[in-house]
Amino acid sequence: MLSSIIADFRIIFDRDPAARNWLEVLFCYPGLQAILLHRVAHRIHHLGIPFFPRLISHVARFITGIEIHPGATIGTGVFIDHGMGVVIGETAEVGDYSLIYQGVTLGGTGKESGKRHPTLGKNVVVGAGAKVLGNLNIGNSVRIGAGSVVLRDVPSDCTVVGIPGRIVYQSGVRVNPLEHGNLPDSEAKVIRLLLDRIDKLEQQVQALQEEKVKEQELVTAGVTNEIVDSDYDETYSCYLKDREIEEFLGGTM
């Protein structure tokens, strides 16, 4: 337990440029205070002592604005930045050196019993206001964008954005964990693809209309055997764009 507390203290200096001295961190960082109180409540909870773990959790919530159920498992070196409004459910598990911003909820989806809250791997970053709901498995080194709502399992080394959360793979790219706002905009990408599709279809419709007008003019002029050239491209293929749009809508991007 002591080693975990030391790691919780040191990680703040690694990840928060505003951390200047140990006295300020100890007394003015609600994320650290909430985790320290949780570790005490969690130990008492595992001893089977009733009431007091929840009382400690309630006091911690009153002081810090962060609610962590005594039954939740918090790994080593977890940093809750600012933390106001963070809620971590009873069966939630947070892996080592994860980073959680304010307004995050690691919650359930109903009144089911047993494991009903998410499990986060190591080095996970959960952006401000994000919601991870249900008995989900979030892999190692996953980034969850601010305001996202995650309802499905997420493999390791991925980025999740949007409502509901959609996966964007980041293979081979090293990402600074503090840059949780630097996320790919998958919605904008798909909208651009749809606008390109609309533009192409409008060009095709215009080409067909021009071809029809030419044919009518030739018929009127008594020319029936002349071949009319058309700008319409029958070999135009949208398979790649279709695939990207379908993956986006299916949440598998």
Task: Specify if 179 maps to a domain.
Answer: no
- Report the mean per-residue pLDDT for the chain: 82
| Residue 42 and residue 155 in one domain | yes
Burial class (CB in 10 A: 0-12, 13-18, 19+), 216: exposed
Total domains in the chain come to 2
Q: List, for residues 23-73, the tens digit of each pLDDT value.
A: 888 898 999 999 999 999 999 999 999 899 999 999 999 999 999 999 999
Is the pLDDT at 245 greater than 90? The verdict is: no
* Predicted pLDDT of residue 218: 77
More confident residue, 207 or 45: 45
How far, in Å, CA of 234 to CA of 215, rounded?
A: 18
CA distances from 98 to 21, 52, 196, 216, 234 (A): 22, 27, 39, 69, 52
* Predicted pLDDT of residue 249: 58
CA distances from 131 to 31, 35, 61 (A): 18, 19, 19
Task: Specify if 180 maps to a domain.
Answer: no
Report the CATH number that the domain containing residue 99 is assigned in CATH. 2.160.10.10
Task: Specify if 176 maps to a domain.
Answer: no
User: How confident is residue 232, by pLDDT bands cut at 50, 70 and 90?
Assistant: very low
What percent of the chain is predicted at pLDDT more than 90?
A: 43
Domain range for 151? 2-169
How far, in Å, CA of 227 to CA of 214, rounded?
A: 10
| Residue 165 and residue 234 in one domain | no
pTM, whole model, 2 decimals? 0.70
User: How confident is residue 150, by pLDDT bands cut at 50, 70 and 90?
Assistant: very high
Task: Specify if 158 maps to a domain.
Answer: yes
Q: List, for residues 184-193, the tens digit of each pLDDT value.
A: 666 667 777 7
How far, in Å, CA of 231 to CA of 233, rounded?
A: 6
